[in-house]
Amino acid sequence: MQFHEREVAVLIGEEALQARIRALGVEIARDYQGKELTVLAVLKGAVFFATDLARSVDLPLTMDFLGVSSYQGGTETTGEVRITSDVTKPMAGKDILVVEDIIDTGLTMKFLLENLRARQPASVKVCTLLEKPTRARTKIEIDYKGFVIEDKFVVGYGLDFADRFRNLPFIGVMKGR
């Protein structure tokens, strides 16, 4: 028995996940042909997705990381977003692809996009592995999307519950929630 089996049920298996990520990588490589892409992963959740995605993009690219926190420990965003760790390079003039694990209410991405646009990049696009459209509290234009899911709290492949389960290779739902 694996450590998670009592608590987590598979929602999107590893193979489906990886196949979708490879397809997104092909799409992104086609769209950014001739450009120097900056993959900007949102810490900590999007790190697993962003590194697999970057490996699927057959283009020269650079990676950077932006840490944000919108939770006070629960499973619902408070709407107040803080930058906990900023990027390491100037974003001005860059073609930025923001990579997120999930867009839920959209409030985190809204804040991030406003913050990034103020730094005058050449372009900003959004790539999210998951979207929960029923929970949206603001409209976010998503350029690349892995999967649309129902309003369930998911874990795995970067997504956590109280900082646990990030290391599962699939997306799962917490049993009994």
Residues found near ligand IMP in the complex (CB under 6 A): 45, 70, 77, 100-109, 153-155, 159
- When the beta carbons of 35 and 125 are compared against ligand IMP, the nearer one is 125
Q: How far is the CB of 35 from ligand IMP (least distance, A)?
A: 26
The number of C-alpha atoms within 13 Å of 42 and in the hemisphere containing its C-beta is 25
- When the beta carbons of 79 and 90 are compared against ligand IMP, the nearer one is 79
C-alpha distances in Å from residue 138, one per residue of 47, 101, 151, 169, 172: 24, 17, 16, 30, 25
Residue given tokens 């998911």 in the structure block: 154
Marked catalytic residue, from 58, 64, 101, 104: 104
Are 129 and 14 contacting, i.e. CB atoms less than 8 angstroms apart?
no
Helices (H), the chain: 14-31, 47-56, 107-117
Binding piece for Mg ion, criterion CB under 5 A, among 38-46, 73-81, 117-125, 160-168 = 38-46
Q: Pick one of 21, 28, 45, 65: the residue that binds Mg ion (CB under 5 A).
A: 45
- When the beta carbons of 60 and 163 are compared against ligand IMP, the nearer one is 163
Q: How far is the CB of 54 from ligand IMP (least distance, A)?
A: 18
Give the other-Cβ count within 10 Å of 9's Cβ.
11
Residue 154, binding choice from Mg ion, ligand IMP, none, Cβ under 5 to 8 Å by partner class? ligand IMP
Which phi and psi angles does 78 have, rounded to 5°?
-90, -10
**31 a catalytic residue:** no
User: Per rule CB under 5 A, is residue 156 in the interface with Mg ion?
Assistant: no
- When the beta carbons of 25 and 45 are compared against ligand IMP, the nearer one is 45
* CB-based contacts of 107, cutoff 8 Å, min separation 6: 70, 77, 79, 81, 137, 138
Q: How far is the CB of 106 from Mg ion (least distance, A)?
A: 12
What is the contact surface with Mg ion in residues (CB under 5 A)? 45
Catalytic residues: 104
